[in-house]
Amino acid sequence: MKFVAITGPTASGKTALAVNLARHFNGEIISADSRQVFRGMDIGTGKDLAEYQEIPYHLIDIIDPTEIYHLKRFMDDSATALAGIIKRGALPFFCGGTALYLDAILRGYELSGGEPDFLRRDELRGKSAAELAKRLRTLSPELYQSLDAPGLNNHERLLRRLEKAEKSQEITVNHEIFKRCEKLIIGVYFPRSEIRKRIKERLERRLSEGMIEEVAKLHDNAGVSWKRLELFGLEYRAIAEYLQGKIDLETMRSSLLIKIRQFAKRQDIWFRKMERNGLVIHWIERGDYEQSAKLVEDFLNHRQLPQPAIRLNNIRYG
């Protein structure tokens, strides 16, 4: 069993490379992006669904943005998707820049009893008592009915019951499939100066495509609270603050550009850590398709792969 992972910093063009490779090698794509799972969050997360065309994809648009998603759920969902792709005789391609998610499937994290994690707790605490009560009533009418009127407005009591309800609904999925698979990791590499330029160009493009209107629609039509939108970070936090009148348009634009560039630096730190932890990442300049396809072909035919020509840990920035 084999799979290919395509990664790289934000704005590097991972999706286009993954789609082209999947088209050539009879592949299906599993998104490794912590925000693309949410419906309606399209422009801000860069889903670029038009690029997929006939290529099957997984873990995109699977839940509403009012719901909670976390590492354990990602590993469960991706293990299920991975097994299905292999069973169909196709080649799985993981594609995304959420380094924690990628590290988890590449190194086979063991998360038995692992939820709720700290991110999950933070997301739950970001919800209002009314939102928590509504979710509790859906998951466990019995636990919901056990609360008196003051309890339905008590954030901590609702949190405890909601965690209990979700834990009881947890389905155990075997994550051993990640460890049993042979893995090829391809990274799209650009010098940092070019990534900074690409981030700026992409931000301007997304704003012109209606990213502000997308966030407004999530709040006004989908019922996503401002607090919840701010928890999604980056584009959604900045635009939510702008729409609430906390900052003006130019401040939103300039601060968002800085924060996305800072995010790319944090991704770089994660990728370097992954290398230090023994993961071999084949960084390909500008995501060159021919070089990438040659690697995949050699990988599938059990040929010895070359040593990576680029190692992030050997690159120092002034």
Beta carbons of 196 and 18 less than 8 angstroms apart: no
pLDDT in tens, 293-318: 999 999 999 999 999 999 999 998 75
Beta carbons of 5 and 78 less than 8 angstroms apart: no
Beta carbons of 8 and 97 less than 8 angstroms apart: yes
Beta strands per DSSP E along 1-153: 2-7, 27-31, 57-58, 91-95
The pLDDT score that the predictor gives to residue 168 is 59
The pLDDT score that the predictor gives to residue 142 is 79
User: Is a pLDDT exceeding 70 seen at residue 121?
Assistant: no
The Cα–Cα gap between 273 and 279 comes to: 9
The DSSP-derived string for 110-154 is --TT--S-HHHHHHHHTS-HHHHHHHHHHH-HHHHHTS-TTGGG-
Beta strands per DSSP E along 162-301: 182-189, 281-285
Length of the chain: 318
Going by DSSP bridges, is the β-strand pair 27-31/2-7 parallel, antiparallel, or unpaired? unpaired
The Cα–Cα gap between 259 and 263 comes to: 6
User: Is a pLDDT exceeding 50 seen at residue 290?
Assistant: yes
Between these two residues, 58 and 156, which has the higher pLDDT value? 58
Residue 113's pLDDT band (cuts 50, 70, 90): very low
Degrees to nearest 5, angle at CA 35 with 31 and 39: 95
Degrees to nearest 5, angle at CA 290 with 285 and 293: 105
- Lowest-pLDDT range of 114-123, 157-166, 264-273, 279-288: 114-123
The pLDDT score that the predictor gives to residue 254 is 97
The Cα–Cα gap between 260 and 243 comes to: 19
pLDDT in tens, 133-192: 888 888 788 788 888 877 788 888 888 787 777 665 555 678 999 999 999 999 999 999
> Which pTM value belongs to this model?
0.82
The pLDDT score that the predictor gives to residue 170 is 52
The Cα–Cα gap between 62 and 198 comes to: 29
pLDDT in tens, 2-16: 999 999 999 999 999
Neighbours of 208 (CB within 10 A): 8
Encoded tokens for 68: 């909670």
Rg from Cα positions in the chain: 21
Beta carbons of 46 and 73 less than 8 angstroms apart: no
The pLDDT score that the predictor gives to residue 117 is 46
Interval 105-128 mean pLDDT? 67
pLDDT in tens, 14-27: 999 999 999 999 99
Encoded tokens for 123: 């997301």
Q: Is 184 helix (H, G, I), strand (E, B) or coil?
A: strand
pLDDT in tens, 200-225: 999 999 999 999 999 999 999 999 99
